[in-house]
Chains A and B, each alone.
Chain A
């Protein structure tokens, strides 16, 4: 079975601090893509960061970076210098390469950034 587990339903962080959201996944496939999506109160799903499984180098996007551990099937998201606008639900997900694009989602982590 292909699954994504986000073990932290809720987290909070003080503004300007760093927070790490956990994600583990399970698949028997070797070629896939991993994603973090953000869903703020507006409910618009926004792509935060994308990682190709064949790349060893961890992806970064400004204040957002991932720790990708393929052998452990772990894909955590680190948010540095947290801002109030980072308050959102964060979903971890993956797509198996060349299999139609279906996303497998985790249950989400609700992050609150406090002033």
Chain B
């Protein structure tokens, strides 16, 4: 299957700082990528849809000014958590959407805000 990388795998930051997470599709081009948040023992919660060359589409209840998404190329999308607070601590997962109507997922990023 297709490979999607995500960096960093884990990050600890202080409250009020910003954190950037990168998502790359390594062996295919993805015009669409997705960002999810997952709490322990729960399903994935879609945060936003990232489209190359255009603005991201955010799900209801997700603050677009807090979770900045950039999809500058067909292989890279970034999620920046701005002015992070402890309640933003979570597991963030990205996925890349291929031409066969299939999403492939990155390994996830554990964010801990102190």
- A45/B102 contact (C-beta < 8 A), A91-B43, A101-B32, A101-B34 known: no
Q: Which residues of A contact B43 (CB under 8 A)?
A: 91, 105-108
Contact B107 A44 (CB under 8 A): yes
Contacts between chains A and B (CB distance < 8 A), count = 55
What residues of chain B lie closer than 8 Å to A33, measured between beta carbons?
101-102
- A–B pairs, 26, beta carbons within 8 Å: A35-B102, A42-B107, A43-B38, A43-B93, A43-B107, A43-B108, A44-B107, A44-B108, A47-B102, A47-B104, A89-B41, A95-B101, A100-B32, A100-B49, A101-B32, A101-B34, A101-B101, A102-B49, A103-B34, A103-B44, A103-B95, A105-B44, A107-B42, A107-B43, A108-B42, A110-B41
Residues of chain A having any CB pair with chain B under 8 Å: 33, 35, 37, 42-47, 50, 89, 91, 95, 97-98, 100-103, 105-108, 110
Interface residues of B (CB under 8 A from A): 1, 32, 34, 38, 41-44, 46, 49, 91, 93, 95, 97, 101-105, 107-108
